[in-house]
Amino acid sequence: MKNVSLIIMEPGIQGNIGAIARSMKNFGFSKLILVNPKCEVGEEARKRAKNAQDILRGVKIKKNLSEATKGFKLVIGTTSRTGKDYNMPRSPLTLDVAAKKIVGSNAKTAILLGSEDQGLSTETLKNCDYTITIPSAPKYRALNLSHATAIILYELSKAKNSMIIMEAHKHASPREKEEILKQLKRLIDKTRFRTEHEKKTQEVAWKKIIGKAHPTKREAYALIGFLKKQK
């Protein structure tokens, strides 16, 4: 998460700044940049930040977006207004897809969020590498700034920690699942059924069960070994 910074355009509510800092602390982020803020980072922000005072102390204030994004390899905009397909600046990735891309990259990345009342303009989004959106209800898509930030940070944290878990517990490959099915079919062929239909039902059922399952490699090898011992 050290490669990811949050940039907030012209925030105007201290409480939101504090809540954003708290969410950043919750999910392991630390770099916050404010562009031309309309309020100070004062007492109300500190109250809302709780134990994230270090993030508030480290806040960087920039005059404009160009200054704020200098040095970043990847700038990602956020939008609740996705528009039509021809509106390319507002043609976003969904948050879950973007989170995997961001976490899987070593590039120095900035996630850009708009002010409480305006969000990001189309002109600003044109300067982003791509945009992301939170799939909220169509009747009211716009979220509170601090709430939207918390959701974005949660998805990034989830993607990162999921990758760590996956690396420690690798799932069985398609080839290993095929070997499980091969051994199951061998046992099904040796079993006496009243009808051919019952036999086919077993084959289909086990194919569905193994297809839906997410065994680790170790679990798959254990099951294959057990099935091979069944004569």
pLDDT at 84: 53
CATH superfamily of 4-168: SPOUT methyltransferase, trefoil knot domain (3.40.1280.10)
Residue found under tokens 């507002």? 90
Domain ranges of the chain: 4-168, 174-229
DSSP state of 117: T
- Token pair of 85 as six digits: 């397909």
Q: If the chain, 231 residues long, is cut into consecutive pieces of 10 residues, what is the mean pLDDT of each piece?
A: 91 95 95 96 96 96 95 90 54 81 86 87 85 83 89 89 68 90 93 92 92 88 93 76
d(C-alpha 231, C-alpha 219), whole Å: 21
What are the distances in angstroms from CA 61 to CA 38, 75, 114, 120? Answer: 11, 17, 15, 18
- pTM, two decimals, is 0.72
The string over 120-154, giving b where at least 16 C-beta atoms fall within 10 Å of a residue's C-beta and e elsewhere, is beeebbeebebbbbbeeeeeeeebebbebbbebbe
